[in-house]
Structure 1
Amino acid sequence: MNGKILSFFILFLCGFYASAGIKFTPVQMNIDDFKRQKSTTVNIESTGISTSKIYEINAFKWEQNDKGEDILVKDDTLLFNPKIFELKPESKQLVRMGFSQSPANLKKEQAWRIIFEEITPVVDKSNLTFLFNFSLPLFAGKQVSPKLDVNIQKTSNTSYLNINNVADSHAKLIEIIVLDQNNKEIVKKNIVQYILSGKKVVVDLGDINVNGRLKLKIKLEDQAEYLEFPIKV
């Protein structure tokens, strides 16, 4: 029986994350002011793994299309120390990353995905090998107050919420609630979705069997209060 290798791609979207015995801290990196800071660090910790793992790090410029789908293009302007490392069982590794030169046009926040790719080991041909690749977001530029523009489009049996991020930095959705005129909850969705600056996402709200004016509440990460919008279905 020939050995098989299965790769898994995991996006980090929480305060900290541990999977396959690997924990990253932090899971989102920010460089706000390049006059004072040109680099940042991430700590990787192994907990409970039985064998060493080798990772190679690469950066990808992160954009989104008109549907909110991610577009990643490899970018060599980011440097890593170390770029390749071995993570042994019950150990820690500190990785520093920074730009060889400051990104241009930082009036609007820019985004990257930092990919930690597990390098294929020499495998026993009789075994099934699982490889885990990890992706962390890196944002460069000032984080500003959120500003969203929303509207609903309704088909015969489905309502779609269009959310446009018109601020100069990203927003991260974590919850969407729709209330009727009596403040009765008719839709609640837990969601983990980044919207980059100037981009849009579309959220399926299902069949809303209520017509007229409603209230939309959106919870963003790192925001204490919900953003509220009047909407009409």
Structure 2
Amino acid sequence: MKRLTLLLLGAAWQVLPASSQGLAIAPIMIDAPAGGGATSLTVSSGLEHDVTVQVRVFDWTQKGGEDQLSPARGVRFAPEIFALSPGSSQVIRMSVPDTDGQGAWRVIVDELPNQKASAPEGAAQLSIRLRYVLAMFAGKPGAPQAVQASLAGDGLRLHNESAGWLKLHNLSLETESGDAATTGPGIVYLLPGSQISIPPPEAAGFSTLNYSVEGQAYATRLRQVR
């Protein structure tokens, strides 16, 4: 995902998976109705102190090989900001518009600063707060075999030729002789008909992209683009 600004007003934001220690979020991938309607997620606190949480929803597209986020239009949800005491939970109820099964959103859950907390005299004014980034789709996943891959001077290009979204794991590049090198982040999302670019590998001579979807391994031949 295109990185959001992480350093704000002297505080560091740590981007974590939705199941990381601290706040627990379920589900970690949100399924929204293709024809519009209601969905929800639950945020629970495993922290030992009170915390204030903010939820934001962004429309998600992929253009120019990158993720593009903009404030969501037509998505209603509440509450947007709420407090959690240790061991408590909050359900966030959402209503999404009819997208004919093509809706894709990023849901970002932030721990907000504790205004009552004060650092000891002389201590650095830097605190670590948590950010969780989730995917929400209003359609079914596409065919895993629909991934097309090419190598160009600007990197590895992945294209989704299916009508559904794809979630790829364990990307690696392989040579004809069987030598392989891991590439890209741990998870890559491909929206329907969209393309994502990944920084090029340091080595050359790769001919195949390996990846997995839902634990199943797949491979596709690389096209060389000059």
Q: Secondary structure at the match of 1:226?
A: strand
Question: Considering only aligned residues, what root-mean-square deviation do their CA atoms show, in Å?
Answer: 2.8
Q: State the partner residue of 2:106.
A: 113
Q: Secondary structure at the match of 1:59?
A: strand
Q: State the partner residue of 1:95.
A: 92
Give yes or no for contact 1:56–1:83 (8 Å, CA) kept in 2. Answer: yes
Give yes or no for contact 1:32–1:143 (8 Å, CA) kept in 2. Answer: no
Give the one of 76, 80, 84 matched to 2:77. Answer: 80
In the TM superposition, residue 111 of structure 1 has moved relative to its aligned partner by: 0.9
In the TM superposition, residue 190 of structure 1 has moved relative to its aligned partner by: 6.2
Give yes or no for contact 1:113–1:136 (8 Å, CA) kept in 2. Answer: yes
Is structure 2 residue 68 aligned with structure 1 residue 71? yes
Give yes or no for contact 2:106–2:136 (8 Å, CA) kept in 1. Answer: yes
Q: State the partner residue of 1:42.
A: 41
Q: Distance in 1 between matches of 2:170 and 2:149?
A: 15
Q: State the partner residue of 1:28.
A: 29
Q: State the partner residue of 1:198.
A: 193
Q: Secondary structure at the match of 2:163?
A: coil
Q: State the partner residue of 1:188.
A: 182
In the TM superposition, residue 82 of structure 1 has moved relative to its aligned partner by: 2.9
Q: Secondary structure at the match of 1:216?
A: strand
Equivalent pairs counted in the alignment come to 209
Give yes or no for contact 2:25–2:43 (8 Å, CA) kept in 1. Answer: yes
Q: State the partner residue of 1:173.
A: 168
- Structure 1 segments, 4+ long, off by >4 Å, are 230-233
Which structure would you say has the larger Rg? 1
* Equivalent residue letter for 1:73: S
Give yes or no for contact 1:25–1:42 (8 Å, CA) kept in 2. Answer: yes
Is structure 2 residue 210 aligned with structure 1 residue 217? yes
Q: Secondary structure at the match of 1:177?
A: strand
Bigger shift: 122-131 or 112-121? Answer: 122-131
Structure 1: stretches of 5+ with no match in the other structure: none
Q: State the partner residue of 2:3.
A: none
Deviation readout 1:1-32 (Å, 9 max, x if unpaired): xxx751415264xxx5214x111122111225
The percent of aligned pairs where both chains have the same amino acid is 20
Q: Secondary structure at the match of 1:10?
A: strand
